[in-house]
Amino acid sequence: MSESDSENNALRTLIVDDEPLAVERIQVICAEISAIRVVGTASDGAAALRLAEKLTPDLVLLDMTMPELDGLGVARKFAESDSPPAVIFVTAHDHFAVEAFDLEAIDYVLKPVAADRLERAIDRAVARRAEQGGGRNRQASQWLEELWVPHRSELLRIDVEEVHRIDAERDYVRLHVGDPVEDGEASRSYLLLQTIAGLEARLDPDKFIRIHRSTILKRENIRGLRHDGLGVWSAELLSGEALRIGRTYLSKVKAMAGR
Q: pLDDT tens, position by position, for the chain (259 residues)?
A: 445 445 668 999 999 999 999 999 999 999 999 999 999 999 999 999 999 999 999 999 999 999 899 999 999 999 998 889 999 999 888 777 777 777 888 998 999 999 999 999 999 999 988 877 644 444 556 888 888 888 777 778 899 999 999 999 988 999 999 887 776 555 689 999 889 999 999 999 999 999 999 999 999 999 999 999 999 999 999 989 999 999 999 999 999 987 6
Report pTM. Answer: 0.71
CATH number of 153-256: 2.40.50.1020
| 8 Å CB contact between 202 and 103 | no
Phi, psi (5° rounding) for residue 189? -140, 150
- CA Rg, the chain, in Å? 22
What pLDDT shows up at residue 203?
95
- Would you kindly state where each structural domain of the chain is located, as residue ranges? 3-133, 153-256
Cα–Cα–Cα angle for 77, 104, 139, nearest 5°? 110
Q: In the chain, what are the helix, strand and coil shares in percent, each to the nearest 5?
A: 35, 35, 35
What pLDDT shows up at residue 5?
44
Classify domain 3-133 at the CATH topology level: Rossmann fold (3.40.50)
Q: Please give the Cα distance from 104 to 98 (Å, whole number).
A: 10
